[in-house]
Each structure stands twice: as structure tokens, then as C-alpha cells.
Amino acid sequence: MTTLTRVIFSVCSILALAAPAFALQPPAGQSEFVPMNSLPPADQLPAAPLLIAAYAFVWIAVMVYLWSIWSRLGRVERDLQALQQRTGRGSTR
Amino acid sequence: MKKAFGPLLILTAAMFACAPFLIAAAPYEATMGLVQKIFYFHVPSWFAMFTGVFVCGIYSAIYLFRGTPAADRVAFASAEIAVVFGLMGLVTGPLWGRKSWGVWWQWDAHLTMALLVELIFIGYLLVRKYGGPGSEKLGAGVAIFGMANVPFVYVSANIWRTVHPPTSVVPTLKPVMAGPFWFCVSAFMLLFALLLMLRLRLENQRAALDALYLEEE
């Protein structure tokens, strides 16, 4: 094997071994800033509707639960009063 | 307790009315931006949920060991409120996660265990509603088991790989963020106390009604 053949073989071997390393390189970085409104619609996710939905849910949940307790309490107190009148007892409140 | 209800209601309403202004004035978090402001209601709702779970668990233990019906009524009232606050946490969390993690939900240790505690207390309410006679003691056992899970939920964000921020976030908050956060925590705790007073009144009136029915029979 001549010296030239050895050099060519060595260079080819190194390139062949290095190929996977080149293939695993991260993609080239973004070379310019992309304005938010230029993103494709699938990549755009505005935060405000999520924030509003979260706060609205908390408010609605509190209101609905308060109303639920109040209506159940009203029903039980009506029943209690009716029963007290029927049995001739005074109010426990 | 009846006298405290009016002032407590006014104070809680005023705090909830002020909270959005304080949250709006708090600075944006560097990486998450606007959506991080869900944090000011999300974390306090879990604080209130865990308070409800501990009240329920402790009063359930008192009921189991002493047999006091009043303790059972406190536990039942507290469990229902804990479920409501847990639901708030479980809804507001994914709304935050969708923007900051890119997904609504991850089956990781912290999120799954939080869901599990919520399901245990929904189970508790179902046992109490449909369990028939003796469901009070069975429910008390379930509540103690549910309470035992809470420390694991808390530490799970620190000891297992999870997308959820660790619990070290809260103690290291900058004062401009810590102020509105602790204000919201106080508002949620007052709301918890208010709801507990109301819900407990409902349980006491139910007990009085049951006692009257029994006397009539």
C-alpha cells in the first residue's frame, strides 16, 4: 500500500466515522427575530384567554357553591320550621 | 360565630375585589409571562384544599376515637369545601400548563397524586351520601387515609421528576410577587373559613331536623 493510498484510506475512514456526529448536530440557530404575529396559527397560543378562563372559573365555582349552600340551608330551615310548628316547639335558631 | 359572619363576609368580598388589582400590578415572570399570573389563584386554592383536608382528617380522627357527632359534622362540611377548592386547582393548573408546558396534563407524580387526593375526597362524599347507616365511621377512615396522602403530594414535586415547579418557588418569591401572593392566600383562607361556617350551619340544622323527626316518631 502506497503512502498516498494510506492517506486517502485514513481520510475516508475518519469522514465515515464522523458522519453520525455531523448527522446529530443541532439544527442551525434562528438567524433573525420572528415577530409573534408572524408565527403560524398553530404555534400561537395567547395567554390572556387562559388567564381569564382560570379566574372566571374560580369566581363561578365560588358563586355556584355559595348558592348551593344557601339553597340547601333554606330548604332545611323551612322543613325545620314546619316541623317545629307541627310539634308545637319554638325555634332552635 | 354568628356575629363574626357578617364582618368576615365583607372582609373576604373586599379582599377578592382588591386581588385582581394587586395581581395586575405584580411583575410578569421572565419565562412564562402573563400566564404565570394564574399562580396567584392556583396555589392558594390548593392551600385552601389542603386546609380542608386536614380539618376533615383531624375531625374524623376525633369522631373515630371519641364518637362526637359534632366532630363528624365538621369533617363532612370540610370535605365538601376541600373538593370544591381542589376542583379549582385542577382546572386552573392545566390552563397554566397548556401555555407553559405545551400540554394540558402530564401523568407525573405530583399531578397524579394531587388528582388522587381529590378523588379520595370525592369518594368520601359519595360514601357519606350513599353509604347508609354506619357510613360516618367508614367515611372517617377514608378521610384519615386521604389526609395521609397530602405530605406526599407536597414533596412529590421535589423528590420525583415532574414538570411541575418545586415547592421552593413560594419561599423564594421576590417581595413584589410575594405581597400579592400572600394577600390571595389570606383571601382564600378567609373564604374557606366563611364557607365552613355556612356549611357547618347546614349540617347542624340537618342534625336538628333529624333529631326532631326521630322525636316525632
Least confident of B22-36, B129-143, B193-207: B22-36
Q: How far does the CA of residue B122 sit from the closest CA of chain A (Å)?
A: 15
pLDDT given at position A30: 58
pLDDT (tens digit, 9 = 90+) per residue, A45-69? 778 888 899 999 999 999 999 999 9
- Tell me the C-alpha distance between B179 and A48, whole Å: 22
pLDDT given at position A27: 56
Closest to B107 measured CA to CA, from B119, B118, B94, B95: B94
- Picking from A53, A61, A70, the nearest residue to B87 by CB comes out as A61
Least confident of A62-66, B9-13, B161-165: B161-165
- Tell me the C-alpha distance between B92 and A66, whole Å: 19
pLDDT (tens digit, 9 = 90+) per residue, B170-182? 888 888 889 999 9
pLDDT (tens digit, 9 = 90+) per residue, B84-93? 999 999 999 9
Closest to B187 measured CA to CA, from A72, A60, A59, A64: A59
Residue to mutate among A65, A71, A78, A91, with most B CBs inside 10 A, is A65
Q: What is the DSSP letter of A30?
A: P
pLDDT given at position B13: 92
pLDDT higher at B165 or B77: B77
Confidence of residue A90 (pLDDT cuts 50, 70, 90): low
Average pLDDT in chain B: 91
Q: What residues of chain B lie within 8 A of the CB of A47, using their CB?
A: 33-35, 99
pLDDT (tens digit, 9 = 90+) per residue, B187-203? 999 999 999 999 999 99
- Tell me the C-alpha distance between B214 and B206, whole Å: 12
Q: Find cell 410577587 and name the residue.
A: B177
Structural domain spans, chain B: 36-216
**How much of chain A is in helix, strand and coil states, percent to nearest 5?**
75, 0, 25
Q: Does position A24 have pLDDT exceeding 60, yes or no? A: no
Q: What residues of chain A lie within 8 A of the CB of B33, using their CB?
A: 47
What is the average pLDDT across B122-143? Answer: 93
0.95 surpassed by pTM: no
The answer to whether B99 contacts A66, with C-beta atoms less than 8 Å apart, is: no
Confidence of residue A38 (pLDDT cuts 50, 70, 90): low
- Tell me the count of A-B CB pairs closer than 8 A: 77
Least confident of A6-15, A32-41, B4-13, B138-147: A32-41
pLDDT given at position A15: 73
The answer to whether B199 contacts A54, with C-beta atoms less than 8 Å apart, is: no
Q: What is the DSSP letter of A26?
A: P
What is the average pLDDT across B90-111? Answer: 89
Name the amino acid, one letter, at A2: T
pLDDT given at position A33: 61
What is the average pLDDT across B86-105? Answer: 90
Q: What residues of chain A lie within 8 A of the CB of B96, using their CB?
A: 50, 54
Q: How many residues does chain A have?
A: 93
Could you give phi then psi for residue B29, rounded to 5 degrees?
-75, 145
